[in-house]
Structure 1
Amino acid sequence: MSIIFECEYQGRRYAGHGIPATGSTLTLFPVADGQLRAALVAGRGPEDLGAALPGDGERIEVALGDPGLRFLPPLLPTASNNSLVNGFMGTHRSKFDRAPEPDEEFTPPNYYIKGFGSWLRLPDEPLTTQSDPVWLLEEPEVVLVYANDEQGVPHYAGYTFGNDLNDIGLHLKNPWAWTPYAKLCETSIAPWLFLGTPPETVTGTVTIERDGGQAWRGDFSCGADSLFHRIPDMADYLFRHPLLRRPGLVNYLFLGADKATYHDGFRIENGDRMVLDVSSHGVVLANEVRYGAAAPEQHGFPRPESEPA
């Protein structure tokens, strides 16, 4: 299966093929912001993205560890920030007490909007949470990537993997009202875009590192064979909504996660390093957790004289 990525190097945008190995040298081709998205919506689908990278002409060679190199979320429109991070909750079979019937009528799972695509973080970048989370939860997930054309038709580009870090403790205090607050943690995403249909089987391990050692380890699965809901049903239902079909929008759609650290009674703490090894696909997402600063006092906000600041 073809894999492509985009990156920035010395102020210019580039693209390349494959997942680079540690210590390797990357062959990068210059691309404009939006060039690959345009190739997607002008063509027949993901297969046209790989062909959009030039085989000849200008290219550069860059070492993987070069400090001037920074990878980007797949197809991220940096100029316009016209991108959305959103996803589904409670989609896995492990969270149901039965298996779905083959002809069962589709019932949409719960849905959330996380934020703008520019809020996404890459591997080895820290993920910031609120200053006093109740109980954090890592969530290894398949992420579908779509780009809308100028008529508002969504075009599927491929898939990658993400870690939807959130405060499940806050969510559980009030599941019907506080979930949007619980989701206000930074999210990481792999830059590697797999140009194929959503994966049937995805397996790997989560390791939480603390003070240089392993504090927790467990397995996960997040492919279509682990889901209670059918992926085409979820995507079709979501794109009924016109706001998600805005022309030019790039949509990062998280498909939900299996049980993880919280379900084993483990608490992620400030400074822990989450290592999500998607071993079935050769992808590793590692990010340190950082509690954010406490909220500053609001300037210029009117308060009654009797109310303390």
Structure 2
Amino acid sequence: MTYLRLLQHRAADGARSVILAEGDAAHVLPGVTSIRELALRAIADGVSLADAARACGQGEAIDIAAEHAAGRLIAPIDHEDPAHLLMTGTGLTHLGSAEGRDKMHAAAIANEQQTDSMRMFLEGLEGGKPAAGEVGQQPEWFYKGDGSQLVGPGDTLTMPAFSQDGGEEPELAGIYLVGEDGTVYRLGLALANEFSDHVTERHNYLWLAHSKLRQAALGPELLIGTPPTHIEGTSKIVRAGETIWEKPFLSGEGNMSHSFDNLEHHHFKYDLFRRAGDVHVHFFGTATLSFSDAVQTEEGDVFEISAAPFTLPVSNPLARAEVQTATVKAL
């Protein structure tokens, strides 16, 4: 099956355009400079995003692999005001996700105690895919930051100077736009590296919120239309040109303990997440982490995540920010 993908392109002079790709063919959409702009047009016209894209006509044919290699493809969603793009996520949502998390809580397991993580996973396994019209079990939820924390498919992921770790999380991310009447529209799915500090999380699970306040990266393609229920991909870490860790991962609803509908309900049930015009990037979780295999990442490592039907990877080098001191003054 061939899936439609939308991409955002930025030329050397800063000019932006949107690309529609189907199979190996891709072309520029005339008269459109952002996917958000195209989505607003689709909402106004009462048509699907795919129909809105096709209605633009066909501009110049383009080689998206070459443009990706040249660094001219940017994240497939953004907002002119980064404060109106919110990044959030849910954990323990995949059928194998509890195993990796429980490795972080080995002491509790040794004492034959069921961890909070395992309880949440089992509750999600039982109630995460409710029948139509019903509300299922709420998942673990976290906040990552606003649009200032979103990086492109080949950009550097920079961990704060105080980070104890910078580790990959190969995931799918749902991309959403809130309409003027508060209706939430799922634009599509993107390949993602959710990127977290697993050492901080392992030290104390109550520090999960701290560990998630990090940058995140999206692959260049927005998969639109009905997504596949089974997605297979590969996550790897490259150091000095050599692959030091590589592992397959599974995603899509068929490999999850929660349905997309249930995860979306428990995010957008809050009024503050249905603010007109806002963009949401919501990470759906993973079951595969190099950290679970005792890999210690280093500055300069490159995280590379790929998965069909996406044709391009998200590939990001790791860096550490310089020390910055937060100054608070009484006024």
Alignment-derived partner of residue 307 in structure 1 = none
Alignment-derived partner of residue 232 in structure 1 = 261
Alignment-derived partner of residue 29 in structure 1 = 30
Alignment-derived partner of residue 313 in structure 2 = 284
Hey, what's the Cα distance between the residues in 2 that align with 1:114 and 1:271?
23
Pairwise CA distance, 1:30:
3.9
Deviations 1:235-258 (A, max 9, x none): 122211111110001111110111
Pairwise CA distance, 1:49:
3.8
Hey, what's the Cα distance between the residues in 1 that align with 2:26 and 2:262?
41
Hey, what's the Cα distance between the residues in 1 that align with 2:154 and 2:195?
14
Hey, what's the Cα distance between the residues in 1 that align with 2:221 and 2:241?
27
Alignment-derived partner of residue 4 in structure 2 = 2
Hey, what's the Cα distance between the residues in 1 that align with 2:175 and 2:90?
14
Aligned residue runs from structure 1 range 1-309, under 5 A = 1-9=3-11, 10-18=13-21, 27=28, 29-32=30-33, 34-42=36-44, 43-55=46-58, 64-65=66-67, 70-79=72-81, 81-96=83-98, 100=126, 106-176=136-206, 178-296=207-325, 298=327, 301=329
**CA gap 1:3/1:61 in 2 versus in 1, 3 angstroms:** closer
Pairwise CA distance, 1:287:
0.5
**CA gap 1:16/1:138 in 2 versus in 1, 3 angstroms:** same
Hey, what's the Cα distance between the residues in 1 that align with 2:269 and 2:212?
23
**CA gap 1:215/1:115 in 2 versus in 1, 3 angstroms:** same
Alignment-derived partner of residue 110 in structure 2 = none
Deviations 1:121-147 (A, max 9, x none): 112211000224323321111111111
Alignment-derived partner of residue 306 in structure 1 = none
Deviations 1:249-287 (A, max 9, x none): 111111011122011111111111111121453231111
What TM-score do you get using the length of structure 2 for normalisation? 0.79
3-state secondary structure, aligned to 2:41: helix
**CA gap 1:209/1:61 in 2 versus in 1, 3 angstroms:** closer
Letter in structure 1 aligned against 2:58: G
3-state secondary structure, aligned to 1:150: coil
Percent identity, aligned pairs only, is 22
Hey, what's the Cα distance between the residues in 2 that align with 1:117 and 1:291?
19
Structure 1 vs Structure 2 CA RMSD: 2.9
Letter in structure 2 aligned against 1:272: D
**CA gap 1:231/1:84 in 2 versus in 1, 3 angstroms:** same
Q: Which moved more, 1:93-102 or 1:135-144?
A: 93-102
Hey, what's the Cα distance between the residues in 2 that align with 1:106 and 1:52?
38
Contact 2:143/2:213 (CA < 8 Å) preserved in 1?
Answer: no
Hey, what's the Cα distance between the residues in 1 that align with 2:232 and 2:191?
11
Contact 2:234/2:249 (CA < 8 Å) preserved in 1?
Answer: yes
Letter in structure 2 aligned against 1:36: L
**CA gap 1:119/1:49 in 2 versus in 1, 3 angstroms:** farther
Hey, what's the Cα distance between the residues in 1 that align with 2:69 and 2:242?
27
What TM-score do you get using the length of structure 1 for normalisation? 0.84
Contact 1:134/1:167 (CA < 8 Å) preserved in 2?
Answer: yes
User: Any gaps of 5 or more consecutive residues in structure 2?
Assistant: 99-117
Letter in structure 2 aligned against 1:292: A
Letter in structure 1 aligned against 2:277: G
Hey, what's the Cα distance between the residues in 2 that align with 1:276 and 1:29?
30
Hey, what's the Cα distance between the residues in 2 that align with 1:31 and 1:225?
34
**CA gap 1:151/1:218 in 2 versus in 1, 3 angstroms:** same
Deviations 1:82-120 (A, max 9, x none): 211111111111134765477687211111111122421
